[in-house]
Amino acid sequence: MKKFLVSSIVVIFIMFMVNLVQASPIQWTTGSGANSHWYEAVTNTMTWDEANTAAQTKTYNGVQGHLVTITSSEENEFVWGLRTDNGGYSGFNSWLGGYQSSDSTATGDGWAWVTGEDWIYTSWAYHEPNDVDKTEDHTEDHIHFYHGNWNDYYNNKKRTGYIVEYENTVPIPGAVWLLGSGLIGMMGIRRRRTGLGS
């Protein structure tokens, strides 16, 4: 039993240290509108569909990610700020979780978030959205960052990154503390039982 407990503690410690090394998401905890969600800026050149799939396959503290949804100017500012907090990440062309319904006929209509949240805030760059490139049947129906604001862009061309949002996560240190406390408690019970039997 003692070897098992020591092994378990070592495994938990290693998992905790690996999590610290890989913990690139940043939590929004201060300022107006802060929601305690975690945000991760990823640098990887891909289409919006590829970025959307990649975001959904990522997890942090056991919570599945999704392309970021931005519902306030404060959140937009925080997410855009990730470009300086993530090892020189520029954020210039990062995909966001907004897209336009395929049956929309007007440039500004039919926009939605991947989560189904209400479309209550926008931060379009000047003269955007504009569906400017109609060549080769391209339709600009997805959103990426453009100097801190948004630009509509077509999915079959690639951008240089994407932003993942993780909601309602449980901090790993707290989970490790709980598990560690349980193991220590089990050790104490085991010792008491052993002492009673002798």
Q: Where are the domains of the chain?
A: 30-169
Report the half-sphere exposure of 150 (CA within 13 A, side-chain side): 28
Residue with tokens 């990440």: 89
Helix (H, G, I), strand (E, B) or coil at 16: helix
The model's confidence at residue 102, banded by pLDDT at 50, 70 and 90, is confident
Helix (H, G, I), strand (E, B) or coil at 79: helix
- CATH fold of 30-169 reads Mannose-Binding Protein A; Chain A (3.10.100)
Given a cut of 70, is residue 12 above it in pLDDT?
no
User: What residues form DSSP beta bridges with 142?
Assistant: 99, 153
Which is higher by pLDDT, 65 or 133?
A: 65
CB 38 within 8 A of CB 66: no
Measure the CA–CA gap between 3 and 109, rounded to whole angstroms.
63
Average the pLDDT over each of 11-20, 87-96, 132-141, 165-174 and give the range with the smallest value. Answer: 11-20
Helix (H, G, I), strand (E, B) or coil at 29: coil
Given a cut of 70, is residue 6 above it in pLDDT?
no
Which is higher by pLDDT, 14 or 68?
A: 68
Q: Tell me what pLDDT residue 2 has.
A: 60
Question: How are beta strands 59-60 and 38-46 bridged, if at all?
Answer: unpaired
Q: Tell me what pLDDT residue 116 has.
A: 96
User: What residues form DSSP beta bridges with 124?
Assistant: 150
What's the CA dihedral at 12, 14, 20, 22 to 10 degrees? -120
Average the pLDDT over each of 134-143, 163-172, 178-187 and give the range with the smallest value. Answer: 178-187
Q: Tell me what pLDDT residue 11 has.
A: 43
**pTM, entire model:** 0.72
Which is higher by pLDDT, 22 or 171?
A: 171
User: 5: closest CA among 174, 180, 172?
Assistant: 180
Packed helices 172-197 and 2-22: angle between N→C axes, nearest 10 degrees:
170
Measure the CA–CA gap between 77 and 12, rounded to whole angstroms.
36
Average the pLDDT over each of 78-87, 163-172, 178-187 and give the range with the smallest value. Answer: 178-187
Q: pLDDT for 30-39, tens place per residue?
A: 999 999 999 9
